[in-house]
Amino acid sequence: MNQKKVESLVRQLLREIGEDPSREGLRKTPERMAKALAFLTRGYDEKPHDVVNGAVFESGSDNMVVVRDIDVYSLCEHHLLPFFGHCHVGYISRGRVLGVSKIARIVDCLAARLQIQERLTSDIARAVRDETGAEGVGVVMECQHLCMTMRGVEKQNSVMSTSAVLGSFHDDAATRSEFLSIVTSSHHR
């Protein structure tokens, strides 16, 4: 991203909405916004495979692994407004497990792009499957969308839930049910 060009565009945007980009409170806003956009869209320069960085380990385990309540922040591609919430990821290993922090890194990598929640949920599931060769993967995401809460229909307490299930999580009702039971138990703490 060309930071100076983005700063210039932000100054122009501020003028277009009726602001004075030279007033005290806005003088550094173009620079701050350019840096913020670079951070919030850093996922374009990352690939899930790279953030995993080889942290896939041999394991005799074929148990279900679930990481719940991973904080997720992204920008809606339709309005460039944030959506945020929690992501729950589970998989059944075929003798290869991810370092636990790498699951959160995959979520962060894919969320740091302009997104829709539906695609993000599916992309996370595919990335976990691709990195582990898991027999099954499940992802559930629950987010609030500022494009819905602070504009448009203005429904402040609305939460969008999406899920993606692959392999045994898709094909086996008992496996899917076990995963969903573990995920929903996080709401009863």
Segment 79-84 shows an average pLDDT of: 95
Q: Can you give the pLDDT at residue 78?
A: 95
Strands 136-145 and 82-92: antiparallel
Q: Can you give the pLDDT at residue 61?
A: 77
Q: Can you give the pLDDT at residue 34?
A: 97
Domains of the chain: 3-40 (1.10.286.10), 48-188 (3.30.1130.10)
Tens-place pLDDT, residues 149-178: 888 777 788 899 999 999 999 999 999 999
Tens-place pLDDT, residues 14-66: 999 999 999 999 999 999 999 999 999 999 999 999 999 989 888 887 889 99
Q: Can you give the pLDDT at residue 35?
A: 97
Q: Can you give the pLDDT at residue 182?
A: 93
The stretches of the chain forming alpha helices (DSSP H) are 3-16, 29-40, 48-52, 100-111, 117-132, 146-149, 168-171, 173-185
The stretches of 41-99 forming alpha helices (DSSP H) are 48-52
Q: Can you give the pLDDT at residue 143?
A: 97
- Angle (CA) 122-98-118 rounded to 5° is 10
DSSP letter at 74 equals E
Q: Can you give the pLDDT at residue 116?
A: 97
Tens-place pLDDT, residues 101-147: 999 999 999 999 999 999 999 999 999 999 999 999 999 999 999 98
